[in-house]
Structure 1
């Protein structure tokens, strides 16, 4: 029983360490053209993705449009090669809609130097669940003679969402130079947990039971701002942005812990009864300062090359959530502590995109960008039962590739395309389930590999001058 508990903890530690994308900053892109250019548009964004990439560009965009980037479909695939020795690889896949951005502009006077826009976007979205169940007949309890009929099941959850909502203001200082600012409110929610349920029936028909459940959740409301500047010449568009750290305003968290164990006396293992359920815990959530630079160069009438880079500063270790110390009911002298922490290392990402205007109605796009991992080194997963743990994410680097076509019709634009992202990381094989040839459970001698693969399929609609069409329709009706 102890061996299987150890194995389950190691396996779950691996799962929680590698899934989640809060420590990757360029995983999602916004706006039809910007998605196909993989976000390399800080200098030359031309759609309402400017609310996120560079608000100053709103004042230099000739035809602001109403955008709904809701028709984005994602196919996510996870694979853990040789995760449990001779048994099999562990795989999971999911497919569904992935709304990313809804944005629009506010009408102003014809000669106004100001441009206003609004946006709602999904900054992070991760919903990964993992489970595994097996039943074997082995000598799990060494002090009890004979083999036991053993059933073990583990479940791991890892959920994260962060919605941004806000508005942008851009001001034209000169015909080719503008400044702007976007102010966003952020609503972030996260939950992680792991459950182990293990039962053994020995030759004397006695039952041993082990139940373990530890998890946390929180909601955080905060604000941040993005400042931008944009400059255009005949062949070059330049941009610069500064994104402030996230300021946490209010929120709360919960924490739960259960540990129950019962076994026959001859096993020599002490029974355990412990639980704690806590709510309304104080929380904090931070993000780094970032500085972005971008340039879009018109090498010909029908070709544009985009380049962008962004530097993200580090975030020193801090406490996200801390539970009140609690004692085991069966052992009052044993106190359990839990403090969830986070930290980020500084990184820089870069992207390259190409536009090719085949005609006034048809344009092709392609892009490539990096998405490096910002998780600090030497982190400890909370599932290890250590008193201090970190909010860990996938410790691999991602690379994004995109391509598609923009079709322009009278009164509307349609974008069709796809993006692909993949990442992989090495790990020590956490467990080796017992077989006839190998009765051991834990085996860390051989390496395994974790792979994450994502496809996004884009069907986006942009409607220029939507207000004018609505006004004309009202005139016809009334």
Structure 2
């Protein structure tokens, strides 16, 4: 609900991700299930492919966020430890469009075309699960250091399909299909380092994250493109399934700094972060000859990231000893200078299409303090919008005069509804045990 504005002021075990040094400043170890988030997302598509068509699709499902707990080791009495399982990324973006029979096609008409049927589909699935352990040590009573080591299981899959069947005025038929899919799986490590201070009654923290350290990776793709009915000279059959491909996953180094400033019994949270630049590289490398055989761009999986700064603020507003109101906002500016996506892959003009654009996040909820623990209830809202400039081109040999360039306006909205639990189930039992 604070939208990540807790580098200097995290008070629950989300600190394993945001600032591991904060662990040593916690007074009460507890087992945390922070716990269940329900997500409703909606994509709206206006003026699809340059037409007046409006489409929208929505999805509602439950997503896990974090399960974490703390523990101690007897032979390291001043050291504190925690474990965490975090669903870092989970997304499933799907776009589908079926035209029905059209007397006048929306894009790229064929010579003497009478009617057409078009079926388009794009899908991208992303999963990134983190499993980590955190260590923290108090150098002084008001200053601590910490480290978090996470193992990452990352999977990204993409699929696109384009099918066009057109009938000419002489009853001859032209068929074009382009099916493409790819998969990338990587296993590796993320290391986060943190510092935490308590200066008077103000909490301050800083954290630094190293780039991804790859341990094992695997990638594959399959490309099919067929054209028939134009002429024996222009019809073609292209297929490629090269198997395991050279690939890599790169992430930027980042630095964050934040503070928690008390105002009476309430707290203001401030945060800022910087992400380093990543030079242009190939996330998946096509073997020699595949691009030519399949009419793909030679470097369809090229990525580049610019340096970017984000910021945000949050408020814990004290209402009563058992109730706080939480609100926040944060920026989420995209660092992508070149993006990899399914429309880019099949579009030989390499148009720029980004669903992962600049976001703004807003949060609002309540923190209820009960005898047996804490309950956090609330929601976060995120949104972004962009315009696709694209060219779904049937390669019939006619010159491109630009008339097939089409626009689609895309808007994305996401609501997440959070139920968080903090349950100090061990504290009372430990107090009741004999001193031994």
Superposition TM-score, scaled by structure 2 size: 0.87
Provide the C-alpha distance between the structure 2 equivalents of 1:243 and 1:405, rounded to a whole number of angstroms.
Answer: 30
**How far apart are residue 80 of structure 1 and its match?**
2.2
- Report Cα offsets for 1:11-61 as digits up to 9, x if no partner: xxxxxxxxxxxxxxxxxxxxxxxxx21111111110000100110100101
Assess if the C-alpha contact under 8 Å between 1:255 and 1:278 holds in 2.
yes
- Residue of structure 1 in register with 2:315 after alignment: 354
- Residue of structure 1 in register with 2:244 after alignment: 280
**How far apart are residue 125 of structure 1 and its match?**
1.7
- Report Cα offsets for 1:327-386 as digits up to 9, x if no partner: 69xx98989845522121111111111112222211111111111111115989222247
**How far apart are residue 422 of structure 1 and its match?**
1.1
Structure 1: which 5+ residue stretches go unaligned? 1-35, 432-439
Aligned counterpart in structure 2 of residue 46 of structure 1, from 8, 11, 16 = 11
Provide the C-alpha distance between the structure 1 equivalents of 2:317 and 2:219, rounded to a whole number of angstroms.
Answer: 49
**How far apart are residue 394 of structure 1 and its match?**
3.0
Q: In the alignment, is residue 403 of structure 1 matched against residue 372 of structure 2? A: no
Structure 2: which 5+ residue stretches go unaligned? 393-400
Assess if the C-alpha contact under 8 Å between 2:297 and 2:348 holds in 1.
no
- Within 5 Å, which residues of 2 pair with 1:421-440? 421-428=382-389
Aligned counterpart in structure 2 of residue 74 of structure 1, from 1, 26, 39 = 39
Assess if the C-alpha contact under 8 Å between 2:351 and 2:389 holds in 1.
no
SS at match of 1:424: strand
SS at match of 1:84: helix
- Residue of structure 2 in register with 1:316 after alignment: 279
Assess if the C-alpha contact under 8 Å between 1:288 and 1:314 holds in 2.
yes
Aligned counterpart in structure 2 of residue 122 of structure 1, from 87, 94, 105 = 87
- Residue of structure 2 in register with 1:181 after alignment: 147
- Within 5 Å, which residues of 2 pair with 1:62-461? 62-109=27-74, 112-134=77-99, 135-138=101-104, 140-142=109-111, 147-202=113-168, 205-263=171-229, 265=231, 270-300=234-264, 302-326=265-289, 337-376=298-337, 381-385=344-348, 393-394=354-355, 396-428=357-389, 442=403, 449-461=409-421
**Which structure carries more helix by proportion?**
1
Assess if the C-alpha contact under 8 Å between 2:239 and 2:293 holds in 1.
no
**How far apart are residue 412 of structure 1 and its match?**
2.0
**How far apart are residue 441 of structure 1 and its match?**
11
Provide the C-alpha distance between the structure 1 equivalents of 2:296 and 2:7, rounded to a whole number of angstroms.
Answer: 52
Superposition TM-score, scaled by structure 1 size: 0.80
- Report Cα offsets for 1:156-210 as digits up to 9, x if no partner: 1111111111100000111111100000111111112211112234455543221
Cα 1:335–1:194 change in 2 (3 A) is closer
Q: What root-mean-square deviation, in Å, do the aligned CA atoms of Structure 1 and Structure 2 show?
A: 3.1
SS at match of 2:284: strand
SS at match of 1:137: coil
SS at match of 2:49: coil
SS at match of 2:200: coil
**How far apart are residue 96 of structure 1 and its match?**
0.8
SS at match of 2:102: strand
- Report Cα offsets for 1:122-155 as digits up to 9, x if no partner: 212221111111121348541x5xx534211011
Assess if the C-alpha contact under 8 Å between 1:324 and 1:337 holds in 2.
no
SS at match of 1:280: coil
Provide the C-alpha distance between the structure 2 equivalents of 1:319 and 1:81, rounded to a whole number of angstroms.
Answer: 32
Provide the C-alpha distance between the structure 1 equivalents of 2:338 and 2:169, rounded to a whole number of angstroms.
Answer: 47
Provide the C-alpha distance between the structure 2 equivalents of 1:327 and 1:399, rounded to a whole number of angstroms.
Answer: 40
SS at match of 2:417: strand
Provide the C-alpha distance between the structure 1 equivalents of 2:135 and 2:405, rounded to a whole number of angstroms.
Answer: 55
- Residue of structure 2 in register with 1:17 after alignment: none
SS at match of 2:288: strand
**How far apart are residue 278 of structure 1 and its match?**
2.0
Provide the C-alpha distance between the structure 2 equivalents of 1:419 and 1:306, rounded to a whole number of angstroms.
Answer: 17
**How far apart are residue 395 of structure 1 and its match?**
5.4
SS at match of 2:61: strand
SS at match of 2:28: coil
Provide the C-alpha distance between the structure 2 equivalents of 1:67 and 1:121, rounded to a whole number of angstroms.
Answer: 12
